[in-house]
Chains A and B, each alone.
Chain A
Amino acid sequence: MNEVTLVLEAGRAEQHYWRDLWRYRDLFLILAWRDVSVRYKQTFIGVAWAVVRPFLTMVIFTVVFGKLAKLPSEGNAPYALLVFAGMLPWTLFSSALTGAADSMIASSQLVGKVYFPRMIIPVATVVTALIDFLVSLSILVAVMIWYRFAPGWPILLLPAFVALALLASIGPGLWIAALNLKYRDFRYLIPFLVQIGLYVCPVGFSSSVIPAEYRLLYSLNPMVGIIDGFRWSILGGESPLYLPGFALSLLVIAFFLWLGISRFRATERSFADLI
C-alpha cells in the first residue's frame, strides 16, 4: 500500500494537485456526461435546440449585416457562410465561458460536502458547450452543401482552432468562477458581457472591415484571432489569416489561461466557506 501523508495547513497549496486531478478523471467524465444528458431532458425538441438557435442567429445576422448594412464578405464566399464560420467559435466560447463562470455556484451543494480538485467542475461544463458545438457543426456542413462550397486543406486544422477556443474560454472561465463565489456581481455581469461581445467580436462581419492600423489592437481580443482562424480554415483562400494579430491573440489566451488557473488555485481551498 503506498501511503500518502497529507498535511492540511492554512494557505498551504496542495502538493499532489495535478496527480489528484488525474485520479479524479472519472469524476470529470461523469460530471460532463451528467451535464450533457440532463441538458435537454423535459424539453420538447431536445437536442434540436443546439441546431435551431445558431441557425436563426445566422439568418438574422446575414440579413442585417450582409443585406441591409451591405458589409463585404471575404472574397467570393457567401455571406451566410462567413457569418456561420464566425458564429460557431463565438457560441462555443460564450457558452463555455458562461457555463464555467456559473458552475461553482451551481454545484455549491457538492463543494460544501465532498473534497475533489475543484477545477473539475468548471472544466466539465465546457464539455457541454463542446457537444453543442459539434451538433451545430452539422448545420455548417448543410450550409456548405447548399452553397456548393468546397473547403480546402486548411479545414484539417479546424480541431486546433476548436481547442484554442476552449482554452480561451477556460482561462477567464476559471477566473470568473472563483470571483463569482466571492462577489456574485459577476452573475449579472457575464450575460451582459457576452451580449456585447457578440458585436465587438467579428461575428457578423469580417475582421478585414477594421482599418489596417487598428487591426493589431483589435487582435488583443483573443476571439478575433480564433474567429479569423475558423474563417481561414473553413473558407480557405477566401479569408487569409492575419498572422501578427493571430500571434497576439495566442499570447492573450495564454495569459488568461495562466491567470485563470493561478487565481482559481489560490482561492480554491476557501470555496466551501464562501458558499
Chain B
Amino acid sequence: MSDVVIRAEGLGKRYVIGHETQRERYSSLRDSIARGVRTFARKAGDLAHGRPIIQGDELEEVWALSDLDFEIHRGEVVGIIGRNGAGKSTLLKVLSRITEPTVGRVQISGRVASLLEVGTGFHPELSGRENIYLNGAILGMSRAEIRRKFDEIVAFAEVEKFLDTPVKRYSSGMYVRLAFAVAAHLDPEIFIVDEVLAVGDGEFQRKCLGRMSEVARDGRTVLFVSHNMAAVQTLCSRGILLHAGGLVAEGSINSVVETYVAKGAPSVVGNALLRRKLSDSLTLEKLAIEPNPATAGCGVAFAIEFTSAEPLRMTELSVLIYSNLGVRVAIVDLRMAQSTHRVSPTEPLRFRGRVFDLPLVEGVYSIGLFVACGDLRSDVYDLTSLEILRSAPRSELAPYASRDRGLLDLRSEFDVV
C-alpha cells in the first residue's frame, strides 16, 4: 500500500532581490545625492511597513518555485534534478521547514530529517566527541538516541583515535566523514538529502551511497538532490525534473534523466571551465567536451585552447580521464611525431578532436591534463568533468548498479553451448 507522505499543491516561493543599476563612470555630486535620498526614502518606507531592507536601486521579484504540484508516496526514493537555479534547493528548504512557501501548501506525514549540508553547526573548538552530540541534537536526535548510536557513528567515521581532538585539527576528509556519519544515523521516516555525496573521497562516497540505499530499502522515503546523474540513477526509482522553478517532468528515474539530457541541460560540473593559469606564462583558456553529459559507448568531441605570455614549445600534452575514485581510466595522447606544438602571445594554441567511443560505465569522470611546456611538466587534475549516462539497456535484465560494474562498459555476446 503506497500512501502519500508528501503532497504539494500550487507551491510557490518568491524572493525579492535588489539590483545595483549600472552607474555612469562619472556621475555628478548632485546625482549621487539625489540617489542617496531616494534610497533612504525607500528604506524608511520599508521600515515603516515592517518590510526587510533590500540593498540595490531596483527591486525584482523572482519566483524560485512556481505552481508545483506533486505527490510522493511512502517508501519511494525520489531524485530531484535540474540545472543550477532550477529551484531544487529552495524546494528542499521549503519541505524541511527552513523557509515558508509564499503560496500554496504542502502536507507532510511523518518525521522529517533533512541534510542540506554536512556538518551543520560543527564547532571548530570542540572535540569530535562533543561535536557528535552537538550535531546530532541539531539534526533532531535526542541525547539518549545519540548515546545509543555513538559507537556506530564513530566506527562509521573511522575517527576513533581523534575523538578528543578539536575538529579544527582534523583533516578535511576526517571532518566530512564525521559529519556524514552523524547524519547517516538519523532515523527519520522521510529523509531529505542535498548533494552531500559530492564531498569526501571516493571510498567514503561509496560508503555513503551504500548507506543511503540501505535507508531506502528499509521502506523509508528519500528525497535526493544531486548533479551526479549516475548516483541519482543508481539510488532513485522516481525522478522529478525542475526547470526555472517549475516541474517539467516526473516519472521513472530513467525517463526523467533522459528528458534532462534531451533538453541539453549542461550539467554544472560540465563545461564551465574558467581560465586557469597553469604556470607563470601558460594559461589554459578552454577545455570543453561535447556533448556533456555523454552517453556510454558514444563518441565525444573535445576542444582545448592555450595562450601564453611568451613564446613556448609544448613538447607533450595528454588529456587524462579519472574515475570519481581517482583512478586514471584512460588518456588521450596529443603529441605529434614530427614537430612540437608552439604557443606565443600572438598565436594561441588550439586543439580540436574527437574520441570515437567512450565505453565507460555511467558516472562523473574528472578530466585533467598532462602538460610539458617550458618549465612546466606535470599532471593538472580536476580541470573539468565529464558525465557519462547509462546507455539504453541491451538486455531485458536490469543492469547492476554502476558501482558494481567496474569502469568499462564492454560490449559482449555469449551462447549457452
Question: Residues of A at under 8 Å CB distance from B?
Answer: 1, 3-12, 24, 26-27, 29-31, 34, 37-38, 41-42, 109-116, 182-183, 269-270, 272-274
Contacts and interface: CB of A to CB of B under 8 A. Distances in A.
B172 interface: no
Contacts of B114: 114-115
Interface stretch (B20-28, B95-103, B259-267): B95-103
A8 B106 contact: yes
Given A114-B98, A114-B139, A183-B47, A42 B106 contact: no
Residue from A30, A38, A109 having most chain B Cβ neighbours under 10 A:
A30
A182 B133 CA distance: 31
Interface string B97-129: 111111111111111101011001101011000
B120 A109 contact: yes
A260 to B, nearest CB: 16
B41 to A, nearest CB: 16
Contacts of A31: 134, 137
Interface string B67-108: 000000000000000000000000001111111111111111
23 contacts: A1-B189, A5-B108, A6-B112, A8-B97, A8-B100, A8-B106, A8-B107, A9-B104, A26-B142, A29-B143, A38-B123, A41-B125, A113-B116, A113-B117, A114-B96, A114-B98, A114-B114, A114-B121, A114-B140, A115-B96, A270-B100, A272-B98, A273-B52
A269 B100 CA distance: 6
B138 interface: yes
Contact of A38 (B109, B126, B137, B143): B126
B53 interface: yes
B98 A115 contact: yes
Contacts of A269: 99-100
A9 B101 contact: yes
Contacts of A8: 94-95, 97, 100-101, 105-108
Name the prevailing secondary structure of the A interface residues: mixed
Given A7-B106, A34-B126, A110 B52 contact: no
Given A5-B107, A113-B117, A115-B114, A26 B137 contact: yes
Given A34-B126, A34-B134, A110-B138, A3 B109 contact: yes
Interface string B19-60: 000000000000000000000000000010010110000000
Interface string B183-210: 0000001000000000000000000000
Contacts of B102: 10
Given A8-B100, A114-B98, A182-B52, A24 B120 contact: no
Contacts of A1: 189
Interface of B: 15, 47, 50, 52-53, 93-112, 114, 116-117, 120-121, 123, 125-126, 130, 133-134, 137-143, 189
A127 to B, nearest CB: 15
A29 to B, nearest CB: 8
A244 B118 CA distance: 55
B171 to A, nearest CB: 21
Given A10-B102, A109-B121, 13 more contacts: A4-B109, A7-B105, A8-B94, A9-B105, A10-B104, A30-B134, A30-B137, A37-B130, A42-B125, A113-B98, A114-B96, A114-B139, A270-B100
Contacts of B126: 34, 37-38
B245 to A, nearest CB: 15
A116 B100 contact: no
A8 to B, nearest CB: 4
Contacts of B98: 111-115, 272
A113 B120 CA distance: 7
Given A30-B133, A113-B120, A183 B138 contact: no
Contacts of A111: 98
Contacts of A42: 125
Contact of A6 (B93, B109, B117): B109
A7 B107 contact: yes
Closest 7 pairs between A and B when the two form their complex, measured CB to CB = A115-B97, A272-B99, A27-B137, A8-B106, A9-B105, A30-B137, A269-B100
Nearest to B111: A4
Nearest to A39: B125
A12 B105 CA distance: 10
A91 B45 CA distance: 36
Most A C-beta atoms less than 10 A away, residue of B94, B95, B110: B110
Residue from the set A5, A111, A273 with the largest chain B CB neighbour count within 10 Å:
A273
Contacts of A272: 93, 98-99
Contacts of A109: 120-121
Contacts of B52: 182-183, 273-274
A11 B117 CA distance: 26
Contacts of B104: 9-10
A159 B309 CA distance: 75
A114 B141 CA distance: 13
A27 B52 CA distance: 29
Contacts of B100: 8-12, 269-270
Contact of B125 (A10, A11, A38): A38
B220 to A, nearest CB: 12
B140 A24 contact: yes
Contacts of B189: 1
Contacts of A26: 137, 141-143
A270 B99 CA distance: 6
B104 to A, nearest CB: 8
A87 B166 CA distance: 36
Contacts of A115: 96-98, 112, 114
Contact of A10 (B101, B107, B130, B133): B101
A109 B117 CA distance: 10
A44 to B, nearest CB: 16
B15 A273 contact: yes
Given A26-B142, A26-B143, A115-B96, A6 B121 contact: no
Contacts of B106: 7-9
A67 to B, nearest CB: 42
A114 B120 contact: yes
